[in-house]
């Protein structure tokens, strides 16, 4: 099996630190052995810290980011429920697709890629559609936008609406305070700032969201992702554990270590580090002549940085050049940003000044080389 060495500076996955990788290579134990239960308890506490929440219904879903998105939606949404979805990039469209499959009545609140939503815009849509759930992406990795969250929870609750936040690309890289910000459902991924392999996703539900789940008229369409069942498996109700499914044991080992590293670093340090390195990168990119895609400085995602593809260049030539000649992954756009932007990730283990210098050097080289080819 050939696995090359790569510096992963795209929108994820990130490289994993040795401590996390070595956890993934440990010999297995049973999924309901008491030592595994302890590891799952530690994961739960680690997620509660990372999310800044006291919610008992906090656990890791046994799948990757899309799986967590489905878990969030299918537990809360019943057929015919009105759902409002903020769409300013790829992830809102994806959530729309999933909510429609569940039979929800979906309304989209749309903004241009690169923009974010104001409280006024959201309030207008809540008033107009009276949804039971509002979905919005905190870190829009397809565009590099970070949605401000303050005030959003209170606003939604005033309209009897639950607030669901996708923080796959942002958790640990920028402040999210689940309880304080009144977020009802929050999920993230393992392969971004946490820098663990993909395959397990942190998720948490507020008491308000839990009540909606437990008051369902119908069972959720998935047994694998049914939160009432997972509550028993993860011991979120304080009762002895009940077998539900075989968890991805080694992936949980990795997630446990990744959450421990985040806790040892401290959330505030992690946020500060991601911000500093992002500013350092953006300043370097501008010196190379790149134009930043997100205009509002306060709405720039520090984990996934987006710049316009410079005029006259083909994005694919640039990303292929850095991959081939520097072993560095830099990404093109996704969905509405495809063909327009380059995306440079700075997440967790990979968010260092040293890596910023490496990626800037590779991009400088790519710009020179790809231009030379053209002349």
Least distance between its own copies and beta carbon 331 (Å): 9
Among 257, 341, 342, 359, contact with its own copies (rule: CB under 8 A)? 257
Kindly state whether residue 6 participates in binding its own copies, applying the rule CB under 8 A: yes
374 part of the interface to its own copies, by CB under 8 A:
no
Give the range of 119-127, 159-167, 255-263, 351-359 binding its own copies by CB under 8 A. 255-263
**Interacting residues with its own copies between 142 and 201 (CB under 8 A):** 189, 191, 197-199
Q: Is 292 a residue that touches its own copies (CB under 8 A)?
A: no
According to CB under 8 A, which one of 88, 147, 250, 351 is a site residue for its own copies?
A: 250
343 has binding-site annotation = yes
Is the distance from CB of 201 to CB of 208 less than 8 angstroms? no
Q: In angstroms, what is the minimal distance from the CB of 295 to its own copies? A: 27
Q: Dihedral angle at the C-alpha atoms of 27, 32, 38, 44, nearest 10 degrees?
A: 110
Choose which of 45, 66, 110, 121 interacts with its own copies (CB under 8 A).
66
**CB of 100 vs its own copies, minimal distance in Å:** 8
247 is a site residue for its own copies (CB under 8 A): yes
350 counts as binding its own copies under rule CB under 8 A: no
Query: Which CB atom, from 149 or from 342, has the smaller least distance to its own copies?
Result: 342
Measure Cα distances from 56 to 45, 88, 124, 153, 238 in Å: 10, 32, 33, 19, 9
The smaller minimum CB distance to its own copies, of residues 192 and 300, is found at 192
Name which of residues 303 to 332 contact its own copies (CB under 8 A): 329
* Site for its own copies contains 8 (CB under 8 A): yes
Using the Cα atoms of residue 153, residue 156, residue 162 and residue 163 in order, give the sign of their dihedral: negative
Q: Which range binds its own copies by CB under 8 A, 253-261, 266-274, 279-287, 289-297?
A: 253-261
Q: Kindly tell me which of 251 and 306 has the beta carbon lying closer to its own copies.
A: 251
Q: Which residue has the tokens 């009762």?
A: 239
Q: Does residue 37 touch its own copies according to CB under 8 A?
A: no
Show the binding pattern over residues 73-112: x = contacts its own copies (CB under 8 A), - = does not: -x-------------------x--xx-xxx----------
Q: How far is the CB of 242 from its own copies (least distance, A)?
A: 12
Residues contributing to the site for its own copies (CB under 8 A): 1-6, 8, 10, 12-16, 21-31, 33, 35, 38-39, 42, 62-67, 70, 74, 94, 97-98, 100-102, 189, 191, 197-199, 219-224, 243-251, 253-254, 256-257, 260, 329, 334
**Which residues line the annotated binding site for substrate?**
343
């Amino acid at each position: 099996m050939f696995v090359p060495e790569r510096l992963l500076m795209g929108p994820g996955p990130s490289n994993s630190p040795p401590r996390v990788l070595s956890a993934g290579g440990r010999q297995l134990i049973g999924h309901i052995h008491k030592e595994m239960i302890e590891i799952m308890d530690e994961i739960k506490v680690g997620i509660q810290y990372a999310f800044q929440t006291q919610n008992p219904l906090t656990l890791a879903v046994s799948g990757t980011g899309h799986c967590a998105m489905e878990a969030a939606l299918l537990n809360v949404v019943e057929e015919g429920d009105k759902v409002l979805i903020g769409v300013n990039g790829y992830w809102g469209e994806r959530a729309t697709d999933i909510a429609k499959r569940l039979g929800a009545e979906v309304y989209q609140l749309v903004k241009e890629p690169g923009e974010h939503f104001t409280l006024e815009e959201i309030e207008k849509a809540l008033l107009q559609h009276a949804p039971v759930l509002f979905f919005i992406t905190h870190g829009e990795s397809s565009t590099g936008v970070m949605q401000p969250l303050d005030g959003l929870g209170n606003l939604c609750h005033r309209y009897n609406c639950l607030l669901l936040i996708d923080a796959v690309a942002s958790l640990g890289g920028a402040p999210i305070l689940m309880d304080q910000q009144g977020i009802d459902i929050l999920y993230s991924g393992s392969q971004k700032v946490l820098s663990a392999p993909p395959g397990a996703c942190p998720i948490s539900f507020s008491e308000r969201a839990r009540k909606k789940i437990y008051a369902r008229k119908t069972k959720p369409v998935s047994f694998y992702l049914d939160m009432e069942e997972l509550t028993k498996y993860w011991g979120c109700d304080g009762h002895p554990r009940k077998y539900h499914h075989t968890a991805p044991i080694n992936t949980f080992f990795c997630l446990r270590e990744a959450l421990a590293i985040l806790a040892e670093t401290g959330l505030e340090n992690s946020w500060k580090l991601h911000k500093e390195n992002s500013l350092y990168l953006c300043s370097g990119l501008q010196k190379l002549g790149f134009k930043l895609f997100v205009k509002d400085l306060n709405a720039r995602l520090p984990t996934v940085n987006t710049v316009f593809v410079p005029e006259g260049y083909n994005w694919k030539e640039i990303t292929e050049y850095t991959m081939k000649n520097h072993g560095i992954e830099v990404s093109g756009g996704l969905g509405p940003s495809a063909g327009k932007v380059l995306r440079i990730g700075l997440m967790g283990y990979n968010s260092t000044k040293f890596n910023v210098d490496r990626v800037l050097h590779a991009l400088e080289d790519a710009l020179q080389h790809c231009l030379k080819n053209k002349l």
